Amino acid sequence: MSAKQILVIDEGTTSTRAMLFGCDGKLRSSQQEALQQYYPSPGLVEHDATEIWEKTLRCCQKMVEQAGGADKIAAIGITNQRETVVAWDKRSGEPLCKAIVWQDRRTAEKCDALKDKGLEPLVQQKTGLLLDPYFSGSKIGWMLENVPEVKAAGDNLAFGTIESYLIFRLTGGIHITDASNASRTMLMPLNGQVWDDELLDLFDIPKAALPNIVDCAGDLGATLPTLFGSAIPICGSAGDQQAATIGQACFAMGQTKATFGTGAFILTNSGDNPPKSENRLLSTVLYQLNGERTFALEGSVFVAGSLMQWLRDDVGLIEFAGESEELARSVANNGGVYLVPALSGLGAPHWRADATCTISGLSFSATKAHIVRAALESIAHQCHDLKTAFSADGTDWESLRIDGGMVANDWMVQDLADVLNIPVERPEFIETTALGAAMLAAVGCGIYETLDDASAMISGMSSYEPSMDSADRAHRLAGWQKAIAGVLAN
């Protein structure tokens, strides 16, 4: 076996995976373990960072063994659920409390109080983000204010998003975060290389507890030799949505991808200048290489694949995720039923942390199939809301490249093309988040010189063309606008 294998850690919201790639982009093997979700009360979502570390390590060790040993792996690339925050002790690496997950809404009142003080324009101007519980800064502030172990940690306190925590544990103490993840904290200016004192003061966060901000590719450290038999260099790191954009080769301005995982996240490459949104979209760092940043305009939908999980596990309308496609096809239309999936508030372009899920249009003629179809249709409806906002910001989509677990649903992909009225392209290999991390690591360790060169790792695409009648599309969208207006009015 070649030493030019890449080990990718893909640490998601519901599972952690280790994946072994060849330098040709082909997946050779993978190992996955589920992560427990903790919901201590409505709106609160937590993870056990010790569980994340132990399961990640176990998955990686199995992949190193399959690779034929640590010397057969050229580099590690890491991609992660963004905005989720861990607090740990710098001496031991042990977490000081449960991690607060990106979906968590506990800091809504704090964010609203800062908005009432007129501070959101300052935050948006500096960071490209809005004052919302989604982002990491308010979560860190909450830990400092409410967790005795965090308060008492003093100089030994460390904060970081998941990739930062994993790198710390893998290397035995390197405390860094890549610029793509740092741009999601609400604490780093888009044009700045370090944390912003004024933003830190908003949440009373000590700068010494935060990681150093680094590139997304290069020499980011090496694993402790004891973990895998010998040290493996870590050469790539990016938040999951940025990694997926890289894995879809959106390297030219205007190219757009959507990832449908737990949530749905759409990013458009904006080049080397941070985009300014007048329509409550986000500006974010797409990647940083050699100290230079490429930016993206982003729209975030909080509930996508997690809606299918909810229908299956909590409501019992489906027995397995694939059944949703069968049920959607079993009825001619939604029967007037609309589902607004605000199970953890509404993201872009509405940004309503207090919004709750509704199902409207029910009658005795409505069946389980109509409700499940309405749930699937909500994905395209939310994406259409985002397309309208992107267009108003001067960035319309000519086509959409899609990935993530949900896009295995052919019906949903065609519905996206129909409702958005643009071609939708799906790659043969849909795990583009992990592939993007592999591409970054391959550049970081010198297998490829540039990301453009690394796009040789990407396989082919299939395209779905819109086929819906314009009157049917208008009818669908009018029903959605009525449904979401009802949610926003509450």
Each residue's pLDDT tens digit, 351-386: 887 899 999 999 999 999 999 999 999 999 999 999
Asked if the structure places residue 231 within a domain, the reply is yes
In a domain, 419, yes or no: no
Residues 183 and 285: beta-carbon distance below 8 Å: yes
**Res. 147 pLDDT band, cuts 50 70 90:** very high
Q: Is the pLDDT of residue 431 over 90?
A: no
Say yes or no to pLDDT of 338 above 80.
yes
| Nearest in space to 191 (alpha carbons), one of 292, 42, 119, 76 | 292
Q: Tell me, yes or no, whether 82 lies in a domain.
A: yes
Does some domain include residue 119?
Answer: yes
pLDDT over 90 (residue 421)? yes
Is residue 76 a part of any domain in this protein? yes
> Rounded to two decimals, what is the model's pTM?
0.86
Q: 337 with 328: CB under 8 angstroms?
A: no
Which of 105-109, 159-163, 231-235 is predicted with the least confidence, judged by mean pLDDT?
A: 105-109
Query: Side-chain half-sphere of 249: how many Cα atoms within 13 Å?
Result: 17
CA distances from 436 to 92, 273, 452 (A): 31, 22, 12
- H helices of 85-183, in order, are 108-116, 120-127, 136-146, 148-152, 162-171, 179-182
Q: Are strands 46-47 and 99-100 parallel, antiparallel or unpaired?
A: antiparallel
φ, ψ dihedrals at 239, nearest 5°: -60, 155
Closest CA to 81 of 192, 194, 219, 181: 181
Number of domains in the chain: 1
Is 407 exposed, middle or buried, given 0-12, 13-18 or 19+ CB atoms closer than 10 A?
buried
- pLDDT of 395 > 90? The answer is no
161-170, 213-222, 248-257, 437-446: which has the minimum mean pLDDT?
248-257
Residues 6 or more apart in contact with residue 489 via CB below 8 angstroms: none
Q: How confident is the model at residue 3 (pLDDT cuts 50, 70, 90)?
A: low
Q: What is the mean pLDDT of residues 253-267?
A: 89
> What's the DSSP call for residue 154?
G
Q: What is the share, in percent, of the chain residues with pLDDT greater than 70?
A: 99
DSSP letter, residue 239: E
- Measure Cα distances from 311 to 131, 322, 373, 412, 420 in Å: 30, 12, 11, 16, 25
1 pLDDT band, cuts 50/70/90, is very low
Q: Residue 60 is which amino acid?
A: C
| Three-point CA angle 327, 410, 336, nearest 5° | 45
Sorting pLDDT into bands at 50, 70 and 90, what band is 398?
confident
Sign of CA dihedral 176, 178, 183, 189: positive
Instruction: Report yes or no on 299 lying in a domain.
Output: no
Look at residue 150 and tell me if it is in a domain.
Answer: yes
Is the per-residue pLDDT at 349 higher than 60? yes
Which domain CATH number covers 116?
Answer: 3.30.420.40
Cβ count within 10 A of residue 152: 10
Mean pLDDT score, 165-185: 97
Flag whether 421 is in a domain. Answer: no
**Residue 195 belongs to what domain range?**
5-240
